[in-house]
């Protein structure tokens, strides 16, 4: 596997705001790489630097093993932040300009417009488009010239539920064709549904990066209650295989286990042999949201 993108020690400040701090990661060919982070975490800033519309304070970017330059950018389909097109031109004219810049000869403009369901409006001016249609046109523009690498910044922004699932399907299909996709999102389920790898950003700091299954592990949670909660908490720390004990809602305790490793019978038996009778015992799956919040809150 070759490395498509390598980011080394990237830092960028806007005045006193540190938008990125020493961020490093790499993206391998063929993976769907999600950049996950809350609003204002530096996702767009980072992509902007990769695409040379923002200047990094320090650090370097390499694309396909060489320092980033405009000729390499021609081979990447990109949607950054908002769909940017000439308002007074129609969809086809706008795509012709984009294809001209990318140096795509004989661009399949009808084909890409069909892929994003915009074919019927191909001769309408961009200024008459709804937000969702603008977004579709931007994705169509990314597909011009059938690039091997695509960068999508919040690709489902402004789309209705049908549009969202269409675009996610399209991205999955592109991934299945072996394309490398780098996608920024603040929506965890989107990243989880679509991506194979993920990097988590918070306030410009890279918190974690790696395979989705490793980063966004689904822990098993066993919720328990007893009359003497303090005594219960004391013994639970010794429960076999547990990975942590936290206070839950309504005076309950949460015992964490690695995914699929929780055994209610064993927990019940353990507490009973330690002299505590449980009044409540249930298995809960930890939601990804809470995992995400936990990761971004921890540091």
Contacts with other proteins, residue ranges (CB under 8 A): 48, 51-55, 69-71, 73-75, 78, 80, 82, 84-89, 93, 96-98, 100-103, 141
Q: How far is the CB of 20 from other proteins (least distance, A)?
A: 13
Strand partners, 8: 60
19 contacts: CB under 8 Å, gap ≥ 6: 12, 13, 42, 45, 204
Q: How far is the CB of 222 from other proteins (least distance, A)?
A: 49
**Total residues belonging to the chain:** 299
Cα(272)–Cα(142) distance, integer angstroms: 61
For tokens 């040379």, what's the residue? 52
Cα(225)–Cα(51) distance, integer angstroms: 53
43 contacts: CB under 8 Å, gap ≥ 6: 35, 37, 153, 184, 185, 186, 201
Q: How far is the CB of 116 from other proteins (least distance, A)?
A: 17
Whether 189 contacts 288, CB under 8 Å:
yes
In the complex with other proteins, which residue's Cβ is closer, 179 or 254? 179
Q: 235: how many CB neighbours lie within 10 A of its CB?
A: 16
In the complex with other proteins, which residue's Cβ is closer, 41 or 78? 78
In the complex with other proteins, which residue's Cβ is closer, 50 or 212? 50
Token pair listed for 112: 């890409």
In the complex with other proteins, which residue's Cβ is closer, 50 or 191? 50
In the complex with other proteins, which residue's Cβ is closer, 16 or 297? 16
Q: How far is the CB of 124 from other proteins (least distance, A)?
A: 13
Q: How far is the CB of 22 from other proteins (least distance, A)?
A: 19
Q: How far is the CB of 184 from other proteins (least distance, A)?
A: 14
In the complex with other proteins, which residue's Cβ is closer, 101 or 258? 101
Q: 176: how many CB neighbours lie within 10 A of its CB?
A: 9
In the complex with other proteins, which residue's Cβ is closer, 45 or 296? 45
Q: How far is the CB of 162 from other proteins (least distance, A)?
A: 26
């Amino acid at each position: 596997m070759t490395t498509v993108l390598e980011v080394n020690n990237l830092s960028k400040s806007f005045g006193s705001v540190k938008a990125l701090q020493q961020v490093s990661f790499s993206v391998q060919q063929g993976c769907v790489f999600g950049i996950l982070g809350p609003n204002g975490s530096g996702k767009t800033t980072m992509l902007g630097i990769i695409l040379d519309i923002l200047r990094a304070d320090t650090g370097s970017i390499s694309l396909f093993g060489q320092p980033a330059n405009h000729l390499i950018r021609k081979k990447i389909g990109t949607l950054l932040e908002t769909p940017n097109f000439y308002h007074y031109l129609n969809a086809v004219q706008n795509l012709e300009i984009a294809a001209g810049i990318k140096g795509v000869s004989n661009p399949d403009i009808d084909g890409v417009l069909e892929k994003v369901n915009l074919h019927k409006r191909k001769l309408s001016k961009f200024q008459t488009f709804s937000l969702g249609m603008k977004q579709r046109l931007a994705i169509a523009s990314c597909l011009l010239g059938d690039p091997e690498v695509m960068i999508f910044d919040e690709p489902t922004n402004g789309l209705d539920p049908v549009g969202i699932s269409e675009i996610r399907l399209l991205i999955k299909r592109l991934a299945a064709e072996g394309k490398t996709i780098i996608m920024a999102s603040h929506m965890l389920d989107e990243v989880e549904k679509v991506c194979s790898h993920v990097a988590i950003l918070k306030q410009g700091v890279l918190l974690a990066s790696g395979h989705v299954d490793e980063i966004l592990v689904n822990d098993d949670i066993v919720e328990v209650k007893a009359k003497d909660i303090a005594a219960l908490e004391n013994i639970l720390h010794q429960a076999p295989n547990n990975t942590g004990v936290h206070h839950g809602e309504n005076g309950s305790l949460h015992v964490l286990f690695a995914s699929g490793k929780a055994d209610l019978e064993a927990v019940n038996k353990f507490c009973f042999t330690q002299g505590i009778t449980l009044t409540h015992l249930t298995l809960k799956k930890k939601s990804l949201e809470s995992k995400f919040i936990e990761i971004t809150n921890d540091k």
